[in-house]
Amino acid sequence: MLRRAALLQCAWCGNRPGFLRDWFRRYDSCRHCGLAVQRDGEGFELGAATVNVMVTLGALIVAAAIPIASTYPNVDTGLLIAVLGVVALLLPIVLYPFSFTIWFAVELFMDPPSQAALDAADDRVRDILDLNA
């Protein structure tokens, strides 16, 4: 499921783009399998934001450690701050859709959908097909 998420596919059915409408917007459910993104109420965005923050912070630590370790004790702090600033600003934008697909995969792994959720997903797919017909 994580491999599918890393490829911006639906973690459940593998369809691309799954529930992603574009880079910054998404549907409430996968357009192929109908599985709802936000299950059991609220909190999906918080999990996705947490994934984004954790990966960004990890990248910042690596981006800081490599030049510090390789140039110590003559670290160019101005350049280091500039590079880290660019990474801190751009990486969350680049990771935005990935954070949602990855968190969706993590949620599906931790809490697989119930039969009722799968039945509701089938109903959503029928509605989507009816709208497109």
Question: CB of residue 18 vs Zn ion: minimum separation in angstroms?
Answer: 5
> Measured at the alpha carbon of residue 69, what is the angle toward residues 64 and 75, in degrees to the nearest 5?
75
Q: At what angle do helices 44-71 and 77-110 cross, to 10 degrees?
A: 140
Out of 8, 13, 64, 117, the residue judged to bind Zn ion by CB under 5 A: 13
By CB under 5 A, tell whether 128 contacts Zn ion.
no
Site size toward Zn ion (CB under 5 A) is: 7
CA distance 42 to 13: 22
Tokens of 45: 């965005």
Question: CB of residue 31 vs Zn ion: minimum separation in angstroms?
Answer: 8
Question: CB of residue 121 vs Zn ion: minimum separation in angstroms?
Answer: 8
Out of 1, 5, 20, 33, the residue judged to bind Zn ion by CB under 5 A: 33
By CB under 5 A, tell whether 32 contacts Zn ion.
yes
CA distance 95 to 99: 6
Out of 1, 30, 51, 91, the residue judged to bind Zn ion by CB under 5 A: 30
Instruction: List the interface residues with Zn ion, window 76-95 (CB under 5 A).
Output: none
User: What letter would DSSP give residue 41?
Assistant: S
Binding region for Zn ion (CB under 5 A) out of 22-30, 52-60, 76-84, 96-104: 22-30
Roughly how many angstroms between the first and final C-alpha of the chain, as a whole number? 31
CA distance 8 to 16: 7
What does the binding site for Zn ion look like in residue numbers (CB under 5 A)? Answer: 10, 12-13, 15, 30, 32-33
